[in-house]
Amino acid sequence: MEKIVSLCKRRGFIFQSSEIYGGLNGVWDYGPLGVELKNNLKQYWWQVIVRDRDDVVGLDGSILTHSAVLKASGHVDTFTDPMVDCRLTNQRLKADQIPQQSGTVFAYEFARDATPSVAAFEALVYLAETDAEPRLDKTLGLNDAISLGLRIVERRGLSLAPPSKDPESIESFFMDLSHELVRNPQSGWEEKFRLGYSVAQRAVCGDTFRVLLREGEPELKAKKIAQMFYQKRGLRLPVVSLLSKMPVQDTREFNPENGAELTPPRPFNLMFQTQMGASADPASIAYLRPETAQSIFVQFKNVLDVSRKKLPFGIAQIGKAFRNEINPRNFTFRSREFEQMELEYFCRPEQGMDLLAYWLKERIKFYEEIGISRKRLHILDVPEKERAFYSKGTFDIEYEFPFGRQELEGVAYRTDYDLQQHIKASGKQLDYFDEETKERLVPHVVEPSAGVDRTVLALICDAYDEDSAPDEKGKMETRIVMRFHPRIAPIKCAIFPLLRNKEPLVAKAREVQALLRPHMNVFYDEGGAIGRRYRRQDEIGTPFGVTIDFETLGEKGEELRDTVTLRDRDSMKQERVAIKDLAHLISSKIR
């Protein structure tokens, strides 16, 4: 995965959003090649789902969504993930992603601060001074306190060893010092120090805290984690108090990264809420839509009226959706801002299950047509207990990403749940009138819902390959090649004049570029050796390369005039093609 992430940045597919300010977690920007790839994917989906069919029309709904829409759909009340926080780092995690762990739980009941109080500090200064009137310097720190203590030990000939850095050792040192001093007082300052360093004078944190140690981990680790916990609660040198040690099996109550205790799970709504207009009252709350589907349901009647479609028919939409994911991860896979390609295909209730099977097949075909290998696609028949309660059947189309098998798209039979919810909440008639049977019905819906960003990521992962190719001197070297299907490749054809300093070659190459440009996205490159130029294009997945050479200019015989070499990215084979045939030849392979 690291190689893919690095290529995406190096070649301009995907960048972290706001990178120069440290990045915005879970948000991504698509660079010059990424945006082309993404657009090709969306255009192909739109072509197949909308333009090639008589029974589907499109919609482009707004992102800002009325709170009543999402209240009716159930998102306001139930679109939540169980969330836990690490009590040490405050890191927020999805509760259902915490693995089960076993080991020993160390429970701490409180901690006290071993740092001397101001009063104790003052006494130390007086006891350590010999001549001049002592002053309490506010900049004195813990190390100074220890030095003062050691000076007193030396002056009074006490047998106390210097403390280590551990808070417990420092506390013992000062406690022993106070006992020794009060045994032989020479002024009132010995008693003042004892009182100043008594536990009652020092800060205490009464929070309990637990740490899980896995088998083989040293006990000291638990103590250090606990000390860090109490430090974050304001104790500078926490002396921790262990209450118990207990073995546990298969618990999910601890952070797998550091063993610290997690808070109990609580629901976390994934929607981004915003305020419309200047007033801050609850009526002005709006949401960034968490899915594109809801605007399709809400506009169902309007679209039906204007399109005059008969059941079954669909409404399709591509657009941004937003979810405040607790733990965005795996590059763009789980993002907070992403795009969906959704189709709501309305039908009669008795057609639902057949159409579910139909759309599953269509969608698998789509992924194959954009070049995703069938063997890396898997179909999960989601069991009833894991489906939404209103769904009569759901299939997840999964892809084998380098980080595991994960969902690309859901194809769900959602019954009439959404339309019924909006009918109830709005009081409007969102039904369908059948002219032939003269009956009114609320249509059921089958929904293929795909993620643009996840599909782009799958395309990139699927295309990434390394093989070997000869360098300038014919020596074999490793070649990175993105084997994008020509249909979705960001650049379809690269155009190379053999030499940049031969004006007729450059002029001809520019002519070829102008000829192909209306048909496809082309890229002109005259920099560097031709092999290097091929390699740069292989790395971004350009399927075709056209080289304009001296044959093209007719210098090696009239029969070769106005022909070029056309190189195939995958086979690296080159063929001689007439310039006039280029547009047709390449176009037939990229449609």
Q: Which region among 82-90, 408-416, 525-533, 555-563 touches ligand GAP (by CB under 6 A)?
A: 408-416
Does residue 453 bind ligand GAP (CB under 6 A)? yes
Q: Which region among 72-80, 124-132, 338-346, 369-377 touches ligand GAP (by CB under 6 A)?
A: 338-346
Does residue 335 bind ligand GAP (CB under 6 A)? yes
Strand partners, 564: 577
- Tell me how far apart the alpha carbons of residues 436 and 441 are, in angstroms, rounded to a whole number: 13
Please report which residue ranges of 197-254 form alpha helices under DSSP H.
219-232
Does residue 36 bind ligand GAP (CB under 6 A)? no
Does residue 391 bind ligand GAP (CB under 6 A)? no
Q: What residue ranges in 61-208 does DSSP mark as E strands?
A: 64-66, 80-85, 92-94, 101-113, 204-205
- Tell me how far apart the alpha carbons of residues 500 and 527 are, in angstroms, rounded to a whole number: 7
Nearest approach, Cβ of residue 356 and ligand GAP (Å): 14
Strand partners, 247: 104
Residues 192, 323, 422, 508: which binds ligand GAP (CB under 6 A)?
323
Does residue 334 bind ligand GAP (CB under 6 A)? yes
Helices 142-156 and 118-128 cross at an angle (nearest 10°) of 40
Does residue 178 bind ligand GAP (CB under 6 A)? no
Does residue 449 bind ligand GAP (CB under 6 A)? yes
Nearest approach, Cβ of residue 319 and ligand GAP (Å): 11
Q: Are strands 56-58 and 313-322 parallel, antiparallel or unpaired?
A: parallel
* Residue 22 to residues 19, 25, 167, 189, Cα–Cα distance (Å): 5, 9, 35, 53
Structural contact between residues 231 and 115, judged by C-beta atoms closer than 8 angstroms: no
Residues 149, 167, 410, 543: which binds ligand GAP (CB under 6 A)?
410
Nearest approach, Cβ of residue 116 and ligand GAP (Å): 51
Nearest approach, Cβ of residue 352 and ligand GAP (Å): 16
* Residue 193 to residues 7, 166, 179, 189, 528, Cα–Cα distance (Å): 64, 21, 10, 6, 79
Does residue 122 bind ligand GAP (CB under 6 A)? no
Q: What residue ranges in 460-543 does DSSP mark as E strands?
A: 464-470, 476-482, 493-497, 522-524
Nearest approach, Cβ of residue 25 and ligand GAP (Å): 12
Site for ligand GAP in 251-310 (CB under 6 A): 291, 293
Q: The tokens of 376 are what?
A: 């890396």
Nearest approach, Cβ of residue 270 and ligand GAP (Å): 9
- Tell me how far apart the alpha carbons of residues 22 and 226 are, in angstroms, rounded to a whole number: 30
Q: Which region among 34-42, 78-86, 230-238, 335-343 touches ligand GAP (by CB under 6 A)?
A: 335-343
Q: Which region among 43-51, 111-119, 353-361, 448-456 touches ligand GAP (by CB under 6 A)?
A: 448-456
Q: Which region among 230-238, 281-289, 450-458, 517-525 touches ligand GAP (by CB under 6 A)?
A: 450-458
Q: Is the peptide bond before 282 cis (omega within 30 degrees of 0)?
A: no
Does residue 342 bind ligand GAP (CB under 6 A)? yes
Residue of closest CB approach to ligand GAP: 451
Does residue 445 bind ligand GAP (CB under 6 A)? no
Q: The tokens of 188 are what?
A: 């009132």
Residues 454, 492, 533, 569: which binds ligand GAP (CB under 6 A)?
454
Structural contact between residues 419 and 443, judged by C-beta atoms closer than 8 angstroms: yes
Structural contact between residues 453 and 417, judged by C-beta atoms closer than 8 angstroms: no
Q: What is the DSSP string of 524-591?
A: E--SS-HHHHHHHHHHHT--EEEEE-TTTTTTT-GGGTTEEEEEETTT--EEEEEHHHHHHHHHHHH-
Does residue 398 bind ligand GAP (CB under 6 A)? no
Torsion of CA 34, 36, 37, 42, to 10 degrees: 120
Nearest approach, Cβ of residue 286 and ligand GAP (Å): 19
* DSSP one-letter code for 218: -
Residue number, 409 or 416, with CB nearest to ligand GAP = 409
Residue number, 122 or 453, with CB nearest to ligand GAP = 453
Residues 451, 490, 541, 545: which binds ligand GAP (CB under 6 A)?
451
- Tell me how far apart the alpha carbons of residues 321 and 61 are, in angstroms, rounded to a whole number: 11
Query: Binding residues for ligand GAP, how many (CB under 6 A)?
Result: 18
Residue number, 123 or 397, with CB nearest to ligand GAP = 397
Nearest approach, Cβ of residue 76 and ligand GAP (Å): 16
Q: Tokens 């093989």 appear where?
A: 467
Q: Which region among 51-59, 252-260, 331-339, 505-513 touches ligand GAP (by CB under 6 A)?
A: 331-339
Residue number, 408 or 516, with CB nearest to ligand GAP = 408
- What residues line the site for ligand GAP (CB under 6 A)? 291, 293, 323, 325, 334-335, 338, 340, 342, 407-410, 449-451, 453-454
